[in-house]
C-alpha cells in the first residue's frame, strides 16, 4: 500500500498510519451505531447488514485508486467490524448455553482473526489481493444467517 500510494517520506509517511487509525475510529462509531440499531431492529437483520457492508467495502478497498478513498472504505469496514464484535456476537450468545459461552468468548476474538489475516496476507503476497480475499472469507456467513432464527427477544 505504501508503495502503491507513494507514501514513503515526509508528511505522506504519516498518512499510512492514519489509515489504520481511521479504521479504528470506524470501529468506535460502529459500536455505538450498530449496537443501537441491533437493539431497535433486531440482531439478525443488523448482523446481516453489517457483515454485507463489511464484505462490500472490504472488496472495494482492494480496488481503491488512492489512499483517501482506501481510508474511507476502511472506515466503513471498521463500522462493520463493530457490528460483528457487538451485535453478531450478542446474537450468537443468545443461542448458546451459559456454560458454553466462555468457550465461545475464547474462540470469538480479535487475535484469531489477526492470525488468519496474517496467513492470508502471506499467501496472497499483495495487499490488494489480501484486502479482497479477507473480505470474501466472511461471505459464507450471509446464507447461514438467512436460515437462522431471529433472537429470542424478537
Q: pTM for the complete prediction?
A: 0.85
Which fold does the domain 11-147 belong to in CATH?
Growth Hormone; Chain: A; (1.20.1250)
CA dihedral of 118, 119, 123, 126, whole degrees rounded to 10: -10
pLDDT 10s digit of each residue in the chain, 154 long?
A: 656 665 666 666 666 778 889 999 999 999 999 999 998 999 999 999 999 999 999 999 999 999 899 999 999 999 999 998 889 888 888 888 888 877 777 766 667 777 888 888 888 888 889 889 989 999 999 999 999 888 765 5
Amino acid at each position: 500500500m505504501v508503495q502503491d500510494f507513494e507514501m514513503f517520506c515526509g508528511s505522506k509517511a504519516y498518512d499510512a498510519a492514519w489509515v489504520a487509525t481511521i479504521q479504528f475510529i470506524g470501529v468506535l462509531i460502529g459500536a455505538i451505531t450498530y449496537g443501537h440499531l441491533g437493539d431497535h431492529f433486531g440482531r439478525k437483520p443488523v448482523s446481516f447488514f453489517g457483515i454485507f457492508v463489511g464484505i462490500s467495502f472490504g472488496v472495494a478497498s482492494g480496488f481503491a485508486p488512492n489512499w483517501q478513498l482506501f481510508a474511507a472504505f476502511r472506515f466503513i469496514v471498521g463500522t462493520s467490524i463493530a457490528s460483528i464484535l457487538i451485535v453478531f456476537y450478542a446474537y450468537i450468545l443468545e443461542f448458546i448455553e451459559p456454560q458454553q459461552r466462555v468457550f465461545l468468548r475464547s474462540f470469538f476474538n480479535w487475535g484469531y482473526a489477526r492470525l488468519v489475516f496474517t496467513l492470508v496476507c502471506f499467501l496472497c503476497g499483495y495487499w490488494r489481493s489480501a484486502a479482497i480475499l479477507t473480505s470474501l472469507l466472511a461471505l459464507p456467513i450471509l446464507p447461514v444467517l438467512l436460515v437462522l432464527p431471529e433472537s429470542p427477544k424478537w
